[in-house]
Structure 1
Amino acid sequence: MIGALGVAERELFLFAGFWLVIGSVDELAMDAMWGWLRLRGKAKSGRAPAAPEHLSGPIAVFIPTWREAAVIATTIAQIREAWPQAELRILVGLYPNDPATLVSAAQGAGADPRVRLVIHEREGPTTKADCLNRLYRALEDDEARRDVHYRAVLLQDAEDMVHPAAIGVVDRALDGHALVQLPVCPAHNPRSRYVSGHYADEFAEAHAKAMVVRTAFDVALPSAGVGCAVERGMLERLARQGAEGPFDPDSLTEDYELGFKVKALGGRSTFVRSRDERGRLVATISLFPGDIGAAARQKARWIHGIAFQGWDRIGWNGGWVDRWMMLRDRQGPLAALVLATAYALLIVEALLWLMDASHAPLGSIEPYVQGVVLFLLASLVWRAVCRVAFVRREYGWQQAGYALLRIPVGNVIAIMAGRRALVAYVRTLLGAPIRWDKTAHVGHPALLPTRAAAQ
């Protein structure tokens, strides 16, 4: 038994060690690029302009929904209050077989003439992209009926809380850009400190580092689907390319693909980090799943759409930086396998230690093994330091401390999501239809304690 475990130990180490070293070098390269930008003053957050009384032109907000009765009224009401500009138009996508969401949306809209409830001709759920296409057709009808031409479309989700200054930031950034993406700042759910909290850790680092680097090197920006504005002319060009509108209804991650399509058509994209007069990040605040199963389902959809569909639908285009970023985006399935292998290695090591106290630890077998182990340990410490630094910047020291404890939680969810995404992808290859496997939302960041929502 010990002999078999020893063989497994070596094979697991070779596989996990090789890919962990590659991944660590990849992250160190990203850190170096961000550090270089930081030293040159190109990675600092700017100062957000005061919320304008009027916009440079009409802007439409698209909110696709399906079974969002618990949150949509709060979202619409909060957007109406945060963005009172008369030039704003809020279009909410609904389905005829979801009356509860329709009633809730009507309550949130009140008597505000800027809100339009758009009921899809199909029963739901279709896909999020299909719902967005229905909103786009409603926008075209609105333009023809009112003889108005919108400047841009701003995408938001049914559970979002927007920053009052965000509309002014977007309005200004649209000058010279076809796509504008603002940061996403997940709220901390007091009832799910670890599962929901790990999203905050990941976004705090990704939207302060990787997105900043991508903008600096003028590569395609993966839209987050919220806090994302697309110039009206660009949407029209995308619509001419699509069979049903600017968004592909067969895509699970139409938001992610949007940035690549804009880039392919020659449009410029930008990621804007700015802070208000109180130092708060101008971002979209969202409340992510607090249940580990729901988190795995959501991330499985992201991996399925970005890694598997992205390879099929987008391919590998652009220069070396573009391809590198695509490779980083699509590492989800491999990362899940490597993480699972690494945890299996830890289990094997524990079993060997329990079965034979005289068993030589893996790190003392050969010099190169020691070097790999030491490098990975140093890399792990560095990654933890970086995670703590980025989380502390947005959420404070308490959440930065919890961020260390949430690292294995995020790893477990990634493993679960990778397996689920692979199964889902194989099913679609065998002919299964693509469905909107959306996340159920039962809470809203605007209803959380002030500290949790604001952070």
Structure 2
Amino acid sequence: MREALGASIPSAGVACAFERQMLGRLTEDRAEGPFDPDSLTEDYEAGLRVGEMGGRGIFVRMRDEKGALVATREYFPDTLDAAIRQKARWIIGISLAGWDRLGWHGGASEWWMRIRDRRAALAALVLFAAYLSLLLWAALLVIGFFFAYTPPPYPRIIHALLLLNGGLMIWRAILRAIFAAHSYGWRHGIASIPRICIANLIAIMAARRAIFLYVRSLLGRPLTWDKTEHRFPELRSQE
């Protein structure tokens, strides 16, 4: 979608490649190289800087001569603490500090994509409110069952919005399962649906940590690189 709209495409760490001439342009004003060591998401920023320089990024999906997908494979941190720290670093680097470092440039499509990139903290707040509302709704059902309490009916607009959002959520879960199954098999496709709740929990807790660390940085404490361990399928299978 970003490519079709002409917006900058963020680099994706080790899963990206740069033209040598563009790497040279990225180093023109930086003695430390094309990637800024002060950034928590230097690969993301490099992709946006390429766009600001007039360069173009593209998504490439290709297979090798054996038909295997050319991609970088690694496990996301498999403990709650490590996953929260990893995602919190991304939220700070892209959503919070990225706003300060990169600002807003380009046309409407670029602005729209940067809004999407930087919505993580707000999205986590919405997720928290949604889960809290779900718990309150369940509590009202229990109260109504035991104490003959009938909650007031929803207004029509709220009912329509609930149906719309429920339908979109189901549609997204189905697509998630289809694409996960296509790449990793039907077991992972099915498992991807309940993992949505786990991902949301990590997002909420990571946003809380990110906001806390970012506010501390505004008060004078510098941001630090919170490194997490990366494990790869081939290496893990040999352990």
> Aligned to 2:69, what secondary structure does the other structure show?
coil
Structure with greater strand percent: 1
Alignment of 1:394 onto 2:189: no
**TM-score computed with the length of structure 2 as normaliser:** 0.92
Q: Deviations over 1:208-262 (max 9, x none)?
A: xxxxx22233321111111222222222222222353322222111100001111
- Bigger relative CO (Cα 8 Å, ≥ 6 apart): 2
Tell whether the 8 Å contact from 1:287 to 1:445 is kept in structure 2 after alignment.
yes
Match of 1:323 in 2: 111
Pair 224,359 (structure 1): closer, same or farther in 2 beyond 3 Å: farther
Tell whether the 8 Å contact from 2:214 to 2:223 is kept in structure 1 after alignment.
no
Tell whether the 8 Å contact from 2:88 to 2:206 is kept in structure 1 after alignment.
yes
Q: Deviations over 1:138-159 (max 9, x none)?
A: xxxxxxxxxxxxxxxxxxxxxx
Tell whether the 8 Å contact from 2:73 to 2:232 is kept in structure 1 after alignment.
no
Match of 2:26 in 1: 238
Once residues 203 and 164 of structure 2 are traced to their aligned partners in structure 1, the CA distance between those partners, rounded to angstroms, is 23
Pair 436,397 (structure 1): closer, same or farther in 2 beyond 3 Å: same
Stretches of structure 2 that go unaligned for 5 or more consecutive residues are none
Alignment of 1:250-269 (within 5 A): 250-269=38-57
How much identity, in percent, do the aligned residues show? 50
Pair 391,249 (structure 1): closer, same or farther in 2 beyond 3 Å: same
Residue in structure 2 matching 1:424, options 198, 213, 216 = 213
The total of aligned residue pairs comes to: 236
Once residues 276 and 420 of structure 1 are traced to their aligned partners in structure 2, the CA distance between those partners, rounded to angstroms, is 40
> Aligned to 2:14, what secondary structure does the other structure show?
coil
Q: How large is the RMSD of aligned CA atoms in angstroms?
A: 1.8
TM-aligned CA deviation for residue 268 of structure 1: 1.8
TM-aligned CA deviation for residue 449 of structure 1: 4.4
Match of 1:314 in 2: 102
Tell whether the 8 Å contact from 1:218 to 1:269 is kept in structure 2 after alignment.
no
TM-aligned CA deviation for residue 277 of structure 1: 3.9
Once residues 439 and 226 of structure 1 are traced to their aligned partners in structure 2, the CA distance between those partners, rounded to angstroms, is 15
Structure with greater helix percent: 2
Pair 276,246 (structure 1): closer, same or farther in 2 beyond 3 Å: closer
Q: Deviations over 1:17-67 (max 9, x none)?
A: xxxxxxxxxxxxxxxxxxxxxxxxxxxxxxxxxxxxxxxxxxxxxxxxxxx
Once residues 31 and 217 of structure 2 are traced to their aligned partners in structure 1, the CA distance between those partners, rounded to angstroms, is 21
Once residues 437 and 387 of structure 1 are traced to their aligned partners in structure 2, the CA distance between those partners, rounded to angstroms, is 29
Tell whether the 8 Å contact from 1:220 to 1:263 is kept in structure 2 after alignment.
yes
> Aligned to 1:233, what secondary structure does the other structure show?
helix
Tell whether the 8 Å contact from 1:336 to 1:415 is kept in structure 2 after alignment.
yes
Once residues 285 and 389 of structure 1 are traced to their aligned partners in structure 2, the CA distance between those partners, rounded to angstroms, is 19
Q: What one-letter code is carried by the residue in structure 2 that aligns with 1:331?
A: R
Q: What one-letter code is carried by the residue in structure 1 that aligns with 2:136?
A: V
Point out the structure with max Rg over C-alpha.
1
